Amino acid sequence: MSDCLFCKIIAGEVPSKKLYEDELCYAFYDIDPQAPTHFLVVPKAHIPGPHAVTEENAAAVGHIYAVIAKLAAELGLENGYRVVANDGPDGGQTVGHLHFHVLAGRSLAWPPG
Ligand code: 5GP
Ligand code: ZN
């Protein structure tokens, strides 16, 4: 989508600190980290958010979880991490392209605010 920030990041039109990329997904560090390690993994296809995941596009989501597990191992996150996908205003979503936050490096509170 031409006016989508994360589509622009995937296309290299907006700079990002890239962590990983393959044919289905792109991973990059969050510009405003909420934990010592905070990166985002997004599908290359423009999916507006968790609410727009369907049987037809869900393979990218499963793939992203496998990529997250691999990146977490590579980054040495053996103490654990949290994967978060926000949806809509009440979910706190601010960018309308499905993204999975990966937060690690400190003990994270539960429940979230
Ligand atoms: P959301 O609030 O939609 O769940 O998460 C959006 C995330 O994108 C936020 O954590 C925010 O810091 C991050 N973000 C927003 N704009 C940029 C940007 O231009 N570059 C990067 N790397 N992250 C961004
Ligand atoms: Zn997009």
Read off the pLDDT of residues 11-22 as tens digits, 9 standing for 90 and up. 999 999 999 999
Which residues, including other chains, have CB under 8 Å from residue 21's CB and lie 6 or more apart? 27
Q: How far apart are CA 76 and CA 28, in angstroms?
A: 17
**What pLDDT, on a 0 to 100 scale, did the predictor assign at position 51?**
98
For the entire predicted model, the pTM comes to: 0.98
- Distance, C-alpha 31 to centroid of its chain: 12
Name which of 35, 40, 37 is nearest 5 in CA terms: 40
pLDDT of res. 36: 98
For residue 47, give the amino acid letter. I
The model's pLDDT over 65-89, given as tens digits with 9 standing for 90+, comes to 999 999 999 999 999 999 999 999 9
Residue to mutate (ligand 1; options 38, 95, 101, 103; most atoms within 8 A of CB): 95
The reply to whether 99 belongs to the active site is yes
> Mean pLDDT over residues 6-12, rounded?
98
Residue 37 carries which DSSP code?
E
- For a ligand 1 pocket test, name from 40, 83, 97, 100 the mutation site with the most ligand atoms within 8 angstroms of its C-beta: 40
Take residue 93 and report the two structure tokens written for it: 């979503």
Q: How far is the CA of 59 from the centre of ligand 1 (A)?
A: 23
- pLDDT tens-place string over residues 34-61: 999 999 999 999 999 999 999 999 999 9
Tokens of 37: 């390690």
